[in-house]
Amino acid sequence: MSVDEVQTAPRMKAADRRELILEAATAVFGAKSYVGTTTDEVAHAAGVSQPYVVRLFGTKAKLYIAVIERAYARIIGEFESALPGPVEERRRRMGAAYAGLLAERGMLPVIANSTALGGDPEIGPVARGGFASVWRFVRDEAGFTEEETRDFMASGMLINAVVGLRLVGAYGTEASVTEVLDACFPDAVNRVREFMPAADEPW
């Protein structure tokens, strides 16, 4: 779809255009970080003009905030969907739900990157709020103990690191990488590898 088509197609609602840009921004920010990304790169990935992105979101910081708010909302939504069922299987279901977020390129690296921006006056409060909301959900809604919540959150951060480091290309050839991936995805390593970005991919 061309830039003009995206901007003029009467059947694409404003909410759909916004979602289109947020998906593209998630992929680009996830690959290049907040600091390393420009709104022009996001616009190019979304197939729209850079002025259109600015008109819709205002600044790069506000665009990034929208991206991380959407990412944390997705996490909570996936965890909510994983709650029904036997309690003893809840952690496994929630872990699988988190791994399933790999299907959207950049989602987990964006979360990881946001944790490094606590000192940013605009982004920091949003990132802290999102992180805290996940902790509260796991602790209060899922019913984990403090120790279980800590371990579950730590496992998620390890998965974020594995994705951000783009280790998937060394799976099966480097023993330590293979061990880490098998530990992170004990029941689905072959499936999730299909969604993990390789080192030579732009995003």
Contact 23, 112 (CB under 8 A): no
| Cβ proximity of 105 and 32 under 8 Å | no
Per DSSP, 190 falls in state H
Q: What is the pTM of this model?
A: 0.88
The backbone torsions φ and ψ at residue 187, rounded to the nearest 5 degrees and listed phi first, read -110, -5
Is residue 9 predicted with pLDDT exceeding 70?
no
For the chain, what is the total number of helices (H) and then of strands (E)? Answer: 11, 0
Q: Does pLDDT of 187 surpass 90?
A: no
Q: Domain residue spans in the chain? A: 3-193
Give the model confidence (pLDDT) of 82-104 as tens digits. Answer: 999 999 999 999 999 999 999 99
Using alpha carbons, list the distances in angstroms from residue 51 to 7, 44, 129. Answer: 11, 11, 30
43's tokens: 């616009």
Q: Which residues make Cβ contacts (< 8 Å) with residue 181, sequence separation at least 6?
A: 162, 167, 168, 171, 189, 193
**40-63: pLDDT as tens digits:** 999 999 999 999 999 999 999 999
Tens of pLDDT, residues 105-119 = 999 999 999 999 999
- How would CATH label the architecture of 3-193? Orthogonal Bundle (1.10)
Q: What is the pLDDT of residues 15-40, one digit of tens each?
A: 889 999 999 999 999 999 999 999 99
